[in-house]
A = this chain, B = another copy of it.
Amino acid sequence: MPTTTDTEPGRSDSAAGGARRGRPGYDQETVLNIAVQVFNKHGYDATSMGTLAENLGISKSAIYHHVPSKGDLLRLALDHALAPLEAVGDDERARTGSAGERLEFFLRGTIRVLIERQSYVTLLLRLRGNTEVERSALERRRAMDRRLAELVVAAQEEGSLRGDIDPRTTTRLLFGTINSLVEWYRPDGPVTAESLEENAIGMMLDGLHTRDK
**A residues bordering B, Cβ < 8 Å?**
43, 46, 100, 159-166, 168-170, 172-177, 179-181, 183-184, 190-191, 195-196, 199-200, 202-211, 213
Contact = CB atoms under 8 A, between A and B. Distances in A.
B210 A159 contact: yes
Contacts of A166: 191, 195, 199
Contacts of A170: 199, 203, 208
A208 B161 contact: yes
Given A161-B209, A207-B206, A209-B160, A199 B184 contact: no
A163 B209 CA distance: 9
- Quickly give the copy total for this chain: 2
Nearest to A183: B176
Contact of A199 (B100, B163, B173, B203): B173
Contacts of A172: 180, 184
Nearest to A196: B169
A23 to B, nearest CB: 37
B176 A181 contact: yes
A112 B48 CA distance: 40
Contacts of A210: 159-163
Nearest to A206: B207
A99 to B, nearest CB: 12
Given A173-B203, A205-B209, 8 more contacts: A160-B213, A169-B196, A170-B199, A172-B180, A173-B180, A173-B200, A176-B184, A206-B209
Contact of A207 (B181, B199, B207): B207
Contacts of A211: 162
A166 B206 CA distance: 15
Which of A170, A177, A195 has the most chain B CB within a 10 Å cutoff?
A: A177
Contacts of A168: 190-191
